[in-house]
Amino acid sequence: MRIAFDLDDLLIPSQFSFPTSSLSIWQKALRLENLREGTCHLFSELKKQDHEIWVYTSSLRTRSHIFKTFLFQGMVLDGIVNYQKHQTSVPVEFKNLSKHPPSFGIHLMIDDRPVIQLDGQQFDFEVLCISPHELLWTHKVLETTAQLMKLH
């Protein structure tokens, strides 16, 4: 499956804080960002199960900045959708949505915002909503991907 993760308040603290990885002096010098604790372990579990891991963010971060943020923490992303990519790739009828995962062949979107889940219900795409306060978040991701795999 192709699984996409949001960034702000899902993997990177923004309005809310949660435990994160610590950055080396080099990562700080490159202005890379801390990732939520458990991200690296979760991604390696998903890769072992042959899933593709994408980032889909409405932020203005460049794709190379996002790629490097993960790479320097040992993770290679399979695809990245940022605000610019979303604007240029999503068909006009879905342009009013802040995210449209089916436009990128994404099977499961993981996001902190309940509105994305509501859009998913309305426009028929799969969303797992995870709050920034959720402690068992990696467990929830693995559980949901396992359930979806059974259905496909």
What does the binding site for Mg ion look like in residue numbers (CB under 5 A)? Answer: 6, 8-9, 112
Min CB(26)–Mg ion separation in Å: 27
Min CB(83)–Mg ion separation in Å: 12
Return d(Cα 105, Cα 126) in angstroms, integer: 12
**Is the CB of residue 11 less than 8 Å from the CB of residue 116?**
no
Min CB(14)–Mg ion separation in Å: 7
Min CB(118)–Mg ion separation in Å: 14
Min CB(103)–Mg ion separation in Å: 18
Return the number of the residue (6 or 33) whose C-beta is nearest Mg ion.
6
**Is the CB of residue 33 less than 8 Å from the CB of residue 75?**
no
Walk across the sheet containing 2-5 and list its strands: 79-81, 52-56, 2-5, 108-111, 127-129
**Is the CB of residue 145 less than 8 Å from the CB of residue 151?**
no
Return the number of the residue (4 or 46) whose C-beta is nearest Mg ion.
4
Return the number of the residue (100 or 151) whose C-beta is nearest Mg ion.
100
Return the number of the residue (28 or 133) whose C-beta is nearest Mg ion.
133
Give 92's DSSP letter. Answer: G
Return d(Cα 129, Cα 144) in angstroms, integer: 11
Residue 100, token pair as written in the block:
């449209």
Return the number of the residue (24 or 87) whose C-beta is nearest Mg ion.
87
